[in-house]
Copies of this chain bind each other. A is one copy, B any other.
Amino acid sequence: MSIDVGARLRSVRTSFGLSQRELARRAGVTNGLISLIEQNRVSPSVSSLKKVLDGVPMSLAEFFTLDLSTAPQAFFGTAELVELGNEEVSLRLVAAKRPGRQLTVLHERYAVGAATGEEMLAHRGEEGGVVVRGRIELMVGGTTRVLGPGEAFYFSSQLPHRFRNVGREVCEIISASTPPTF
């Protein structure tokens, strides 16, 4: 069928967190038009569709290139995270199935005494994160430091690094790295 412009526009608008009236105001059209377009009650002229998209903003090329089937999931429940780790170190991956992902976001959980291994890790890219609970010993390059809740890290992954839980309780970290390693 003829390109579901309505669904595309609604998807775009809501993903930007805009109401019909707010988008209409930015685009210089009426809210009623947005409504009619989204219901496919009318097929907008290219010029008015462009005006609408200018309010987002988004180009016509991007609009028609959108793949609705791969509507980016923005929120993930605990059960929707993919478990990648082992008994000692739990790695819960966010947005695992998202194609073309440029980030690896992990919810890491280290058992008492657990570490990322005897060997130092080293790979391309950068990574960073924040400690949520417990205490983690982080070695980066030649430097070692123990981080507690609220403290954070960010370094080039090419530097040899290792994580180790030196506290008396489970340690949790939220981390991100690029390019995606998982």
**Chain A residues at the B interface, C-beta cutoff of 8 Å:** 2-3, 5, 42-50, 59-61, 63-65
Residue in contact with A5 in the complex, picked from B46, B61, B65, CB distance below 8 Å: B46
The reply to whether A46 and B47 contact each other, CB–CB distance below 8 Å, is no
User: For the complex, what is the distance from the CA of A49 to the CA of B48, rounded to whole Å?
Assistant: 13
CA distance A44 to B45 in the complex (A): 5
Identical copies of this chain, number: 2
A42 to B103, CA, bound (A): 44
Contacting residue for A61 out of B43, B44, B49, B61, CB 8 A: B61
**A42, A64, A65 — which one has the most chain B CB atoms within 10 A of its CB?**
A64
> How far in angstroms is the closest Cβ of chain B from A75?
28
Bound-state Cα–Cα, A5 to B49, Å: 13
A2 to B63, CA, bound (A): 15
Query: Chain B residues with Cβ under 8 A from A63's Cβ?
Result: 64
Q: Are B50 and A3 in contact (CB under 8 A)?
A: yes
Pick 21 A–B contacts, CB within 8 A, sort by A: A2-B47, A2-B50, A3-B50, A5-B46, A42-B45, A43-B46, A43-B48, A44-B45, A44-B46, A45-B45, A46-B46, A46-B49, A59-B64, A60-B60, A60-B64, A61-B61, A61-B64, A61-B65, A63-B64, A64-B64, A65-B65
Of all chain B residues, which has the CB nearest A61? B64
